[in-house]
Structure 1
Amino acid sequence: MGREEQIEEREVLESIFPEEITDISDTEYRIAIKLNPPANDHDEEEVEPPTLNLHVRYPEAYPDEAPILDLSPVPNAPVHPRFSVAGDKEQLLKGLEETVQENLGMAMVFALVTTLTELAEQLITDRKEAADREREEALLAAEHEENKKFQGTPVTPETFLKWREEFRREMEELRQREEEERLADLKKAKVKEAPRLTGKQLWERGLVGKGEEEDDEPPTEQVEKLKVAA
């Protein structure tokens, strides 16, 4: 009776998966399952959906006894960033155990394919959502650090006293610089003043030596008269 049910199930699966199913022996075959995970974000590189093989081997008492199952990658299939048959096989096979127990005594391979597809796609979805959360948290952290540049320090008595001390120090330094600059400007102005005249220059210019009785003659003529008298 078991063998008849096995043949019947194999024929049904042929009609459902005509291109995906491949016989290995009379009691063993594999079904290629192409997953349909969520689409990548616009900023992520588009990759081909992953595909895996479900290997099924009937024991003599199947379906009263569980089928022997295994998973393998499709040869030359592109690597998917969030799914690996080798890495996820143990978890996926364990996830099929409940479906096997629920369907003992009945043809169950189609139910196993459906469950396996859902489990694998959920794994990819969970990993994508985790990556999205990490990306969002990184963006929020970067935004928080950027906003901290524009946030002032909370004012407390301690911070106010510190600010006032710093402000007074800066004002005193500014006053000293201004005073030094003022003194420097005064020194420059004195250097630029006209040189002091000698006694002879003052005499020649008629600025000294006339006494109380001043005549109209220029100082140079008075000098000439003194020379003649001598």
Structure 2
Amino acid sequence: MGREEQAEEREVLESIFPDEITDISETEFKVTVTLDIPGEEESEEGSPAFSLNVKYPDEYPDVPPHLEIQAIPDAPSHPNFSVADDREQLLAGLEETIQENMGMAMVFTIVSALKEAAEQLVQDRKDAVTKAEEEQLLAAEAEENKKFEGTRVTPETFMKWREGFLKEMEEKHAREEEERLADLKKAKVKEPVKLTGRQLWERGLAGKGDEEEEGEDGPPVDGMQKLKVEAT
């Protein structure tokens, strides 16, 4: 492609990028590339952007154009994109596109691929931040859940638990049996104690017949008095 063909491509590019393209010379121009970040609203300052400088060599398009990515003064910044840090990576990523379009007008394809690669780079970094935050939350949640996790059951831990459980049940049964026997002893009614005649008489519980019987067992008070009188 000679100068005439290069000029034709330049005219086509101006119709596609009327506000983004600026001539530097007859064989050199720059295109402003503005990034559209999915899920983000454009700020008052605008979207992040950079410029792609394109210079035609005489043999273009049989040889690739000279490309350079430059920062735009006062352009809005983005935490996940830096022209200084990402320039080399973005240019290296254009190599495959250039080789696929060798011998054809390729600037439009290069600009499109560059814009897509820069936006994907930003998105990948956003996703990485989101993933790291999610992993941090999951790790914190897992740590919290450990407080509520029981001991993992294995044959050994089950047998140990079973032995302890059976022993506990035996001890509980023994305690219940002791308590039952103690309650029976407390509930047992004691048999009344049978008092002797003297005890009934002394307590004033004996009747007339009892008094006579008591007299037989006790001292013969009336008889002795009678004998004493007769002796006198």
Q: TM-score normalised to the size of structure 1?
A: 0.63
The equivalent residue for 1:18 is: 18
Post-superposition shift, 1:111? 0.4
Query: For residue 19 of structure 2, what is the amino acid of its counterpart?
Result: E
Name the CA distance, whole Å, in 1 between partners of 2:19 and 2:116. Answer: 20
Partner of 1:70: 68
Where 1:149 maps in the other structure, the secondary structure is helix
1:56 counterpart residue number: 54
In the TM superposition, what is the alpha-carbon distance from 1:132 to its structure 2 partner? 1.3
1:81 to 43, 58, 79: 79
Taking the aligned partners of 1:139 and 1:48, their CA distance within structure 2 comes to 33
Distance 1:7 1:73 in 2: 26
CA positional deviation for 1:159: 8.6
Number of aligned positions between the proteins:
161
Describe the SS at the equivalent of 2:75.
Answer: coil
Deviation of 1:57 (Å): 0.4
Contact 1:55–1:69 under 8 Å retained in 2: yes
Instruction: State the identity %.
Output: 59
Paired residue for 2:89? 91
What's 1:126 paired with?
124
- Is the contact made by 1:47 and 1:80 (CA closer than 8 Å) also made in structure 2? no
CA distance in 2, matches of 1:29, 1:120: 20
Q: Tell me, in whole angstroms, the C-alpha distance in 2 between the residues paired with 1:27 and 1:4.
A: 11
| 2:49 and 2:76 in contact (8 A); partners too | no
Secondary structure of the 2:51 match is strand
- Residue aligning to 1:117: 115
Q: Is the Cα–Cα contact under 8 Å of residues 59 and 67 in structure 1 kept in the other structure?
A: yes
- 1:78 deviates by 2.4
Pairwise CA distance, 1:157: 7.7
Which position in structure 2 is the counterpart of 1:205? none
Distance 2:159 2:87 in 1: 62
Q: Which amino acid aligns with 2:84?
A: A
Q: Give deviations 1:127-172, integer Å, cap 9, x for gaps.
A: 1111111111011011111111222344738997xx99xxxxxxxx
**How far has the Cα of 1:40 moved from its partner?**
4.5
**More divergent stretch after superposition (137-146 vs 147-156):** 147-156
How many angstroms does 1:46 deviate by? 10
TM-score of the pair, normalised by structure 2: 0.62
Q: Does 1:3 align with 2:24?
A: no
Unaligned runs of 5+ in 1: 165-230
State the alpha-carbon separation in 2 of the partners of residues 117 and 159 from structure 1: 66
Change (3 A) 1:46 1:133: farther
CA RMSD between the two structures: 2.8
What is the DSSP-based 3-state SS (H/G/I as helix, E as strand, rest coil) of the residue aligned with 1:29? strand
> Which residue in 2 is equivalent to 1:136?
134
Larger Rg: 2
Q: Which amino acid aligns with 2:8?
A: E
- Counterpart CA distance in 2 for 1:15 and 1:131 is 39
Structure 1: which 4+ aligned runs deviate by more than 6 Å?
A: 157-160
Rate the CA distance shift 1:46–1:28 in 2: closer, same or farther, 3 A: closer
Return the letter of the residue paired with 1:82.
Answer: N
CA distance in 1 between counterparts of 2:99 and 2:158 reads 71
Matched, 1:100 2:91: no
